[in-house]
Structure 1
Amino acid sequence: MEILKNLQESIEEHSLRNAFLINGTYYTYGQLGAKISEIRNLIQDRVPSSEKFIGVVTNDDLETYAGIISLWFEGKAYVPINPIYPKARNKEILEQTESAYILDSSTSQYLDDGFQVLSTGNLPKHGMGMRPKTVDPENFAYVIFTSGSTGIPKGAPITFKNLDSFAAAIDDNLSFALSPSDRCLQMFELTFDMSVVSFLAPLLKGACVYTVSKNGIKYFEIVKLLSEYQLTVLIMVPSIIHYLRPYFKEILSPSVRYSCFAGGKLYGEIAKEWNKCIPNAQIINYYGPTETTIYCGGYLFNKDGDNKHENDVLSIGKPFDNTFYMIIDENGEEVGVGKTGELCIAGEQLFPGYIKNEEKNKQVFFTVEQEGFPHRFYKTGDLCYKDDDGDYMYVGRADFQVKIRGFRVELGEIEYHVKTKLAGVDVVVIDIPDGMGNLELGLAICGNKIDLEPVIAHLRQVLPPYMIPTQFLFLDQFPHNVNDKVDMKVLRAQFTDSKTKHN
């Protein structure tokens, strides 16, 4: 595989350069290569060749990253296991992938019952070299688990072919080009697929990866890294700059060359404010579900003019050259320009299907013949439309499009109108059961309690009555999951608790 060959060559070529800064300590590419050799020797000695999925406990250390690359060089997939997750959930993940072996750099191993745990700390030195094994492109490289509606997590496996196509695509689209002198932020848990691009893209170019310490508040740690090390490449979820917003006047980072976003809605209003903090950077709004290998398209923010948006949500732009988009209606028919429907994706980055979940696979895949070739499409659940220029506008989630009193409501539209009256304030609109089998709308506001009557009066002028929130909640901060997205389940429960107390 080209990506493994390129990774090997980068590690060897840049042996004297720094590869990582982890908890204040630098590690060179030479040290990374040595650790990879040690762990590969351990894998070859202890793990049968028939084992394809290997668990990796996701610690923030060199051994964990070296373990991932070691597995890739051996043609195996890593299954990230976060030790802060409930053990029952992690065991479910390992059982789904039939992972009997786990790499663990912890001083005291995280899981032991029923698994073969291989400690990657304090291994004997081994001069194996960097050359990867010959790997079948259809072999799996990693598996990311997302929450499932049945309560059982869904495993989305990504192949080496998918990963190879992604690495080529980010080089060939939207002018994203890293160099060995770049200093790159890695803020993600390794159970989130955006972590893959955050460490892989820099390592392929000989750049240095700066990981965010787990010992502090994440957004404060990011500001610290920005100021102390003059980072040049930032890959973040949009929610992070909402946390940073109160400190924008204190942030000026002319060293930043790229500020990349994915994994959530990027609003034009806050993007303009953030733009002032990073005057020399290109801002890229990438788009793509986990199932299409991290991201598969994007939009380049215009720093000096207007930007396309829908309800202030920035456009998701165009698909990568290796990807095809199609928008369909409720009957599965393709819709025309300007018509909203569900975005479906095909191409080289599309995953093979969920692990041991044929029922779900039948729901999300369909095949369409285009230009004489069959294309297998994935139904994303995202509502979008294409404009006259071929750019795609994000409207919202099909599962966030709720029915209130029989009317279909897009929650993002309500949020947009609230934000026009509460500039600079983070808000979330959510559907809440009313206890009688119906739904009502709740408005959550991040900040101190204020008089909302002007907001409600404005909403009454621009929205029909069924789209006016009836429940309100003020929070110091929104609940977020480990991927830094708003945890809607927890937020919904907070509304319910608040309502119970007031009753």
Structure 2
Amino acid sequence: MKFVKTLQESIENHSDHNALCINHTFYTYHDFAIEISKIRNAIANTVEDTEKLIGLVTNDDLQTYASILALWLEGKAYVPVNPSTPIERNSKVFELTETRYVIDSSETSIYKNYKVIASGALDAANINLKPKEVSGDQLAYILFTSGTTGLPKGVPITFDNVNALVNAIDAEPEFNLVPSDRCLQMFELTFDFSVVTYLFPFLSGSCIYTIPKGAIKYFYIFKLIKEQKLTVLTMVPSIINYLRPYFLEINAPDVRYCSFGGGALHSDIAKEWSECLPNCKIFNYYGPTEFTVYSGFYPYHKETHQKAHNGIIAIGTPQEDTLYLVVNEDNEEVPVNVTGELCLGGPQITPGYWKNEERNAQSFFVREENGKKQRYYKTGDLCFKDEEGDFLYVGRADFQVKIRGYRVELAEVEFHAKAKSERKVNMVALDITNALGNAELGLAIESEEFDTEKIFNYMKTKMPDYMIPGHVRFIKEFPHSINGKINRKELRTYFDIN
């Protein structure tokens, strides 16, 4: 597999360069190669060839990152579980994947019912980074996201999928990492964004800087940017909301690239953030876990490229070999400027949800294109394509709610609520069910209480009355998922309107 071979060459060619900075400790690519080889040796001596799916406890340490590469060199897939997630849920993930072996760098492993490779206590081994021959349709990893039924939902990604992602990013002339780059890795390894934040730096011989478990993420990032002079940032947009009070203190001329994804990037804060990064190219990436992280991007620039809809920056155009298709409820393509559901096709598409045929039937479809069958994934995101070929994000299909029989885009409510607010704070519109079982609109504001009369008077001039929130809650700090996204489900619990 091409990208695995490139990883081998990169580690060998950059042996004296720093590969990782974890909790203020630097490790070179030579240190990395030693750990990879030790773990690889243990896998080869412990795990049968037929066992392809290996559990990985995602501690923030050298051994955990080395385990991913050791597994890939052996032609196996990692199934990551977060050590702070309840063991019952993690055991369910291992049960669904029939995982028998777990790599765990913890001092004492709690995974007593599995064959554990204690990666933090292995004997020395000769450095061996030569990859095994592997078929492209074999799995590289499986990530589990929350499922609507309460059961985690598995997304398997193959070596071919990852290779297609690497090819697409390599084909992008605007983005080119170099060995001297210092790259932020803020994501938990169970989240798909982590793949791009360790993979591309390792392919380039760059150094990644991780966030220790338990650290206050935004504050640690602020310190890393300032003290370590990071050059490449990959973030979820919610993080810069927390950094906003520090914008006047942030002047980071070293940052070359800043990529966003995993949530809507709002134009007002994007402009302010770009002032902090005078020499930086900003990319607004789009892509779900089911499509191997990235599928395309919009090159944001505060003066020349600021296309937005309802205050949300455009998601731009698909990357190489990726197809975008906007469809109606019958999966038929809609015309330019008409909103529909965005569907993705191309070599990065997952083979399908893990052992979930019912879900696969809902989320994937095949259509004839140029005499060939093309498979698409339905993202659940509402978008439209404009005359210039850019795709603009409207909102989640499940954030489009019915109020008094009318369809309401929650993103539009949020846009108008923020437009006249003197305070630059997070605002989230929610549909809340009242005692009669009807949906009403609520507005959650991440702030101490303040007078909202101006905001509501403005909204009344912009939207019909059924789109004006009837309930407001001030919440000091919004609840977030482990991936940094606002937890809307938990936000609803603040509205007791029965």
CA distance, structure 2, for counterparts of residue 427 and residue 86 of structure 1: 31
Q: Which moves more between the two structures, 419-428 or 260-269?
A: 419-428
The alpha-carbon deviation at position 324 of structure 1 amounts to 0.3
Structure 1 partner of 2:417: 418
* Conservation of the 8 A alpha-carbon contact between 2:299 and 2:305: no
Q: Residue by residue, what CA displacement relative to the aligned partner does 1:447-472 show, whole Å, maximum 9, x if unpaired?
A: 12111122111111111111110111
Q: Any idea what SS the aligned residue of 2:494 has?
A: helix
| 2:481 counterpart of 1:478 | no
Alignment of 1:62-461 (within 5 A): 62-112=62-112, 114-173=113-172, 175-423=174-422, 424-461=424-461
Q: Residue by residue, what CA displacement relative to the aligned partner does 1:53-89 show, whole Å, maximum 9, x if unpaired?
A: 1110000000000001101111111011101111111
The alpha-carbon deviation at position 298 of structure 1 amounts to 0.2
Aligned amino acid, residue 44 of structure 1:
A
Q: Any idea what SS the aligned residue of 1:197 has?
A: helix
CA distance, structure 1, for counterparts of residue 40 and residue 298 of structure 2: 39
Q: Residue by residue, what CA displacement relative to the aligned partner does 1:104-159 show, whole Å, maximum 9, x if unpaired?
A: 000010321x2111100121111041101001100100111111111111100110
Aligned length: 497
Q: Any idea what SS the aligned residue of 2:196 has?
A: helix
Runs of 4+ aligned residues of structure 1 deviating over 4 Å after TM superposition are: none
Normalised by the size of structure 1, how large is the TM-score? Answer: 0.97
CA distance, structure 2, for counterparts of residue 306 and residue 65 of structure 1: 36
The alpha-carbon deviation at position 8 of structure 1 amounts to 0.3
Paired-residue identity, %: 53
| TM-aligned CA distance change 1:263 to 1:7, over 3 Å | same
Aligned amino acid, residue 171 of structure 2:
D
CA distance, structure 2, for counterparts of residue 216 and residue 66 of structure 1: 22
Q: Which runs of 5+ in 2 are unaligned?
A: none
The alpha-carbon deviation at position 174 of structure 1 amounts to 5.9
CA distance, structure 1, for counterparts of residue 441 and residue 19 of structure 2: 48
Aligned amino acid, residue 462 of structure 1:
K
Aligned amino acid, residue 398 of structure 2:
D
Aligned amino acid, residue 258 of structure 1:
Y
* Conservation of the 8 A alpha-carbon contact between 2:33 and 2:127: no
CA RMSD of aligned residues (A): 1.0
Q: Any idea what SS the aligned residue of 1:388 has?
A: coil
The alpha-carbon deviation at position 433 of structure 1 amounts to 1.1
* Conservation of the 8 A alpha-carbon contact between 1:174 and 1:298: no
Aligned amino acid, residue 54 of structure 2:
I
Structure 1 partner of 2:487: 487
The alpha-carbon deviation at position 215 of structure 1 amounts to 3.5
Q: Any idea what SS the aligned residue of 1:266 has?
A: coil
CA distance, structure 1, for counterparts of residue 348 and residue 219 of structure 2: 34
Q: Any idea what SS the aligned residue of 2:189 has?
A: coil
Aligned amino acid, residue 447 of structure 2:
G
Q: Residue by residue, what CA displacement relative to the aligned partner does 1:176-210 show, whole Å, maximum 9, x if unpaired?
A: 10000000000000010101110110000000011
The alpha-carbon deviation at position 331 of structure 1 amounts to 2.1
CA distance, structure 2, for counterparts of residue 215 and residue 436 of structure 1: 42
Q: Which moves more between the two structures, 232-241 or 167-176?
A: 167-176
* Conservation of the 8 A alpha-carbon contact between 1:174 and 1:299: no
Structure 1 partner of 2:37: 37
* Conservation of the 8 A alpha-carbon contact between 2:6 and 2:203: yes
Aligned amino acid, residue 247 of structure 1:
Y
Q: Which moves more between the two structures, 297-306 or 308-317?
A: 297-306
CA distance, structure 2, for counterparts of residue 495 and residue 69 of structure 1: 46
The alpha-carbon deviation at position 34 of structure 1 amounts to 0.7
CA distance, structure 2, for counterparts of residue 426 and residue 491 of structure 1: 12
Aligned amino acid, residue 262 of structure 1:
G
Q: Any idea what SS the aligned residue of 1:495 has?
A: coil
* Conservation of the 8 A alpha-carbon contact between 2:328 and 2:340: yes
Q: Residue by residue, what CA displacement relative to the aligned partner does 1:252-281 show, whole Å, maximum 9, x if unpaired?
A: 110000010000000111000000111100
The alpha-carbon deviation at position 248 of structure 1 amounts to 0.3
* Conservation of the 8 A alpha-carbon contact between 2:184 and 2:232: yes
* Conservation of the 8 A alpha-carbon contact between 1:346 and 1:375: yes
CA distance, structure 1, for counterparts of residue 293 and residue 209 of structure 2: 20
